[in-house]
Each structure stands twice: as C-alpha cells, then as structure tokens.
Chains A and B, each alone.
Chain A
C-alpha cells in the first residue's frame, strides 16, 4: 500500500468515527472513537451557554472513575496531582466535577482534540487503582507468634490498664512471664511505625519495664526519618517477617527462656 493510500485510509477511518448528533437546543453529542478501558466511549457534549460554545463531559469522566475508586481518592495523592496537572496543561476547567473546555476563536477541532487528550489522561488514573493483593502480614504475624509462644504467655493488642484504661497506646503482642516483658510490634507502614515510636516513648515515661522488638512487613518501604526515630527506641528489629521467621521464633523463645 502506498503512503498516500495509507494516509487516505487514516483520514477516512478517523473522520467516519467522528460525528455530531443534535440533542436539543444548542446542544450536540460528540461521538468519537476514544474509549475507557472497558469499551465505553468518552462522553462529550458540545453546548452553547452565554453565547459561548463549550465542550463538556457532564461529570461522566469522574463518575466513571468512581466505579473502582473512592471519589475522595481523586482529590488526594498521586491521582490528584495527575488530574491537576492535566487540567492545567490542557486548560480544562473542573466545575464541581464537570469537565469543560471553551471553544476559542471558532477552533472547534483544536478544542475537541485538546479535550479528548485531557479526558484520556484523567481516565488513565484508573490504572493506579489496579489490584493490590491484600496483605496477610498481620494474620501471618499473629500465626507465627501464636505458634512460638504459649497462650498464657502472650496478649495481643495489649495496653496498660492502670495508666491507659482507654487503650490509646497499644502493643501488638506482649510476651510475659519474664523479668521484663517483650513488647512486639508488627509494622506495615509509616503510620504504624510512628504510632509504635510514640507508644514506646509513652511507656518509657510511665516507667514500664520492657524489651522492644519490631517486625516490619517490608522495612525498605518505611520513610527514613520515621525509621530512624523508631530505631532510636527499639532494641531488636527484623526487616521482614517472611524471610526471618526462623530467626524471629528463635529470638522470642530465647527471650522466654531468659
């Protein structure tokens, strides 16, 4: 096939897939071949308001994203940044969830292409919500400790009834029956690590005797500052549960025997 034939084929294909269908006064539905990942096409309306022609998605793009995502997730974190950048780059207005682009200087084609690019880029944030297998870390932690420590010598979700009757400062597992009980934390993320540091400092303030041990789900994912503060108060750490199960059991059993 000659290049000019290919070009003609391209033009025919693209043009034939674009159409404008009237839907009431000064309002048209714009059909394009551009789709979300589920085969639904982008929702685009061309409408006139206050003598200006505007392209609108009538809130469909965000609504479509909320099939998988919490609406609040669109307004925070990486998704919010991608959306805010996209709106700025393509000059698209977000009017309370409705995405709009004004047609300037009768440049309908330019406006449509810009609007489509913006909508597709926003639709892409759905890929950030792809499957993440739910962590079994806490369940695995409990199973491991339950196996290594007899029931009468361990208390999960322990708190000091005298100083902290409401249970604000908790320990994931307290291993007792030794001169200084062993407090064990299962640490999944920055928040949990920060909470463990705060609780440990509080226990020290109350003058509780204890040894401290932290088991991370994946220590490499913890913020360096958060980890540094926790390291200051923690005697023994394991960087991950899975690859240290034997060592963890050995450490706990030695602590019990002591």
Chain B
C-alpha cells in the first residue's frame, strides 16, 4: 500500500526528484530553472537515481495507448465512484451496480472547454471549423479564444501559431489579435505566430490590413512574411514555403538559426531541451519531421558540429561537438 500522496516522500532525494519532474512537465521552464535542474541532477548520485526511477516508471505506465484519443471517456471512467465500498457494506449480489449506474448521469457535466477557447498540447496539431465557416488550424502548444457571436468575427492568439482560412461572405471582416497588434481580412488564408516579443504574419492571400497596437494601419499584399512589434513592422520579405511546412508536419529550415529550430522542437516534446548559447546562431537548413523529434535531433547531430546528450527522455542537452 502506498502512503498518503499528500505528504512529501520521506526520502529527500525522491521528493526533490518529484518536484523537479513537476516543473519539467509544466511546458514553461526558464533557462535559469533548466540550469538549476542540471546542477541538482549532477550534484548527487542519489538525485540522479531518484529521478531515473520516476522516469522509468513513467515510461512503463500505460498512458501511450490513450494518446490521440478523446481523454474525456478515460477521465470519466477513472473518476467513476468506487463500488468497492458498497460491496463491503452489504453482500447483496451486484448491489453496487445500480448505485454506480445512478451516478453516470453526472459524468456528462464536466467543466470542459469554455466556449470559444481552442488549444493544442505538446506535439499536437488540430483543425477546427469555426461557427462562421472559417477553418482554423493550430500548431503544437497553441491557444486561441474566439468571439463569433452576433456577426462578430474575432479571434485572439494567446500562444503559438495558427493558420486561418477566412470564410468570405461574413458581414464584418475577421479580426485576429496578438499581443502586438490586429490583423483584419474579409477572406483568404494567413498564418500568424505569437513570438516572445513580436508576432509574425504570413499572408498566403491578400491584401489585408495590419495595425500594430501603437502604430498606424498598413496594407500587406499576398505572399509576404512580416515581423511586427507593438509599434511597427520590423521586417518584411516575400514568404517562403518553410513558413507553412508545419501544416504538413514538417519543420523546414532555410539558414534558420539553431535557436529558433530548437524553440520549435520544444513545442513537440515534454521536458527540456538545453541549447549551448554559443550554438544558437548556427545556421540550419533542411527538412525535419516534427512528429518525430528524436529523428530530427539525430539529423541535426549528423549535419552540424553539435553533440546531443540524452540524459533522459525529459532532458536533452545540445552542446558543441
């Protein structure tokens, strides 16, 4: 029997390993935290052993069968009442069944997705048809909220990257907002990415209007790739196919800095990928499978003067060869 999970584990290294594992799975880990983790892991063999044990047990746990399926039925089943207690209380044959059946009705009202909130997880791409007929596709670890009530056509990109195919014929133009500005168009396709301090807009059709939050509205024609911040356009150039390659599951790099490539990979695997800062500017060119990040890392290792150290499935460090 396990002791109460609400109390810290008696073994200090094991408890620390648990808390590090919690942070590794957050999907948001700063470089300082990454360094602190490495220091902890290297400081004592008991730390590495405890961490390894959790990692192996996680690897052996039967979660993989459920990936790519709707999780609601799994969660509803797991959260079903335990008939065991009923069984203990009376030995009426199958007495517990009717009782648990009575509770099934409640399973339906889970506080699932708030309306208009769409998101993807690590290594997940998904498509939706919106109420106005537009088609939305989200890259991994992306999140949008939409307002499509009463003829409004608004969408806010909070995180990640999207492709929107805007349905023509709406009363009002479709408005897409990032932290830096607003894009509006009455039809056509566009790709929008929320970066750390700037947004990138790629216009597959056009023209459309872009208004940085603190700047003037400008018109962008079709086939452009535009980087903008809150005040102005920082960079504009003809788009290339690499910007939409993710839609088909590829990461296409054309002299792209390794730092950006690694950033993309981070959305496609749990845990951390540490990159030696000296390598971040290394130019990368090639076509890499997004859904197989292990293969992508192997390809990069063969191609560039780098060594990929795999301390665990959750911790990969890219260093100079």
A binds B: no
Residues of B within 8 A of A (CB): none
